[in-house]
């Protein structure tokens, strides 16, 4: 079968090659991939690929063509969305049944493929944030796939959310999704905020921290700027009283992905969650999409269709 493999060179991109078709483990279903999503974080991973044999691909949607040998999971012919740990940018992928959710007929594969990594991150991040009704929330790096989901979910939960995005056009869409306010720099956000959801790192995190309310919570879930964070103890000491800074990873959960994927599917099918498809292209254009993601030329999710 055909699949994208890492070039493992200075270009840090991928090439379409022939690889063996996967042989599912007892708890894995074989899925014919119809669409997959490419996340900006995966462009970072391609710069330092894991061990030989690794191929990229965490977000897929398609059709089960071989059920799991142990009898778990959906039967042959079922449309699914999946979140394998890797190997998804291919014609076929073997996916643990605990990482699959069934798709209703009304939800296209192109939309479903945009749900897993970004949607799981947003859903689990808001759980960590706790009760949001009536609380003021600051979201940095709001124009990507995670940011759009966070904006819509937080707004639906009753939060008064201020989103930070450099683009006026993207800001308008965030207002439509539920943001109460959009600013173009963290320095322009007027606190105090009960919760800060910080994804850019660099100079933005200290600025966001200064805008926390007493005993506020900052959840640090990314470093899109690629710049390290420097914190001055004395700035914190004179800032918000008893602030909490907590690192967040969407994968650091005890529950399998399937249940949360099913929640994201249900919300989308009900029209309560709207995947933002910044671009939809043929999968042969994956290297170009990677370049556009690195250059921040895509708003929302990038989805590739497998023909």
pLDDT tens for the chain, 307 residues: list them: 999 999 999 999 999 999 999 999 999 999 999 999 999 889 999 999 988 789 999 999 999 999 999 999 999 999 999 999 999 999 999 999 999 999 999 999 999 999 999 999 999 999 999 999 999 999 999 988 999 999 999 999 999 999 999 888 889 999 999 999 999 999 999 989 999 999 999 999 999 999 999 999 999 999 988 899 999 888 888 878 889 999 999 888 888 899 999 999 999 999 999 999 999 999 999 999 999 999 888 888 999 999 8
> Looking at residue 178, what DSSP letter applies?
T
Among candidate residues 91, 113, 79, 77, the one with its CA nearest the CA of residue 22: 91
Angle of the 257-269 helix axis to the 116-129 helix axis, nearest 10:
100
Cα 267 to the center of its chain, rounded Å: 16
Superfamily, domain 121-247 = NAD(P)-binding Rossmann-like Domain (3.40.50.720)
Paired residues of 137 in beta bridges = 161, 195
- The total of other beta-carbon atoms located within 10 Å of residue 83's CB is 25
- What is the sign of the dihedral through the CA atoms of 5, 94, 96 and 75? positive
- At 169 the pLDDT is 82
Intervals of CATH 3.90.180.10 along the chain:
2-115+275-305
Quick check: 205 and 236 in contact, CB under 8 A?
Answer: no
How many Å apart are CA 217 and CA 137, to the nearest integer? 10
- At 213 the pLDDT is 95
Q: What global pTM score does this model have?
A: 0.94
Phi, psi of 46 (to 5 degrees): -65, -20
How many Å apart are CA 3 and CA 89, to the nearest integer? 6
Q: What is the SS3 assignment for 24-48?
A: CCCCEEEEEEEEEEECHHHHHHHHC
Intervals of CATH 3.40.50.720 along the chain:
121-247
- At 224 the pLDDT is 86
Residue 293: which H helix or E strand, with range?
helix 286-294
Quick check: 46 and 13 in contact, CB under 8 A?
Answer: yes
- The total of other beta-carbon atoms located within 10 Å of residue 47's CB is 12
Superfamily, domain 2-115+275-305 = Medium-chain alcohol dehydrogenases, catalytic domain (3.90.180.10)
Those residues whose C-beta lies under 8 Å from the C-beta of residue 44, and which sit 6 or more positions away, are none
How many Å apart are CA 153 and CA 206, to the nearest integer? 25
- At 227 the pLDDT is 92
Residues in the chain: 307
SS3 280: strand
Phi, psi of 226 (to 5 degrees): 65, 15
- Exposure on the CB side of residue 228, measured as CA atoms within 13 A: 2
- At 155 the pLDDT is 96
- At 232 the pLDDT is 87
């Amino acid at each position: 079968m055909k699949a994208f493999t890492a070039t493992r060179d200075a270009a840090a991109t991928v090439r379409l090659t022939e690889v063996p078709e996967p042989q599912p483990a007892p708890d894995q279903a074989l899925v014919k991939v119809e669409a997959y999503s490419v996340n900006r974080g995966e462009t970072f991973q391609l710069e330092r690929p894991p061990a030989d044999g690794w191929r990229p691909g965490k977000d897929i949607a398609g059709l089960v063509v071989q059920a799991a040998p142990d009898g778990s999971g959906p039967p042959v012919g079922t449309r699914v969305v999946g979140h394998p740990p890797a190997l998804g940018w291919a014609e076929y992928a073997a996916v643990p049944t605990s990482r699959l959710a069934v798709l209703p007929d009304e939800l296209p594969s192109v939309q479903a493929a945009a749900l897993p990594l970004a949607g799981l991150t947003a859903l689990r991040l808001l759980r960590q944030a706790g009760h949001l009704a009536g609380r003021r929330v600051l979201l940095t790096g709001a124009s990507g796939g995670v940011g759009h989901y966070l904006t819509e979910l937080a707004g639906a939960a009753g939060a008064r959310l201020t989103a930070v995005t450099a683009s006026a056009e993207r800001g308008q869409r965030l207002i439509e999704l539920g943001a109460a306010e959009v600013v173009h720099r963290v320095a322009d956000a007027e606190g105090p905020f009960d919760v800060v959801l910080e994804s850019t790192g660099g100079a933005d995190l200290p600025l966001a921290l200064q805008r926390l309310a007493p005993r506020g919570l900052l959840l640090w879930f990314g470093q899109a700027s690629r710049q390290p964070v420097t914190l001055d103890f004395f700035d914190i000491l004179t800032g918000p009283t008893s602030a909490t800074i907590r690192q967040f990873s969407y994968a650091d959960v005890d529950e399998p992905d399937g249940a949360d994927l099913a929640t994201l599917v249900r919300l989308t099918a009900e029209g309560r969650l709207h995947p933002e498809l910044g671009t939809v292209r043929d999968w042969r254009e994956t290297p170009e999409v990677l370049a556009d993601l690195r250059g921040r030329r895509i708003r929302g999710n990038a989805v590739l269709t497998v023909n």
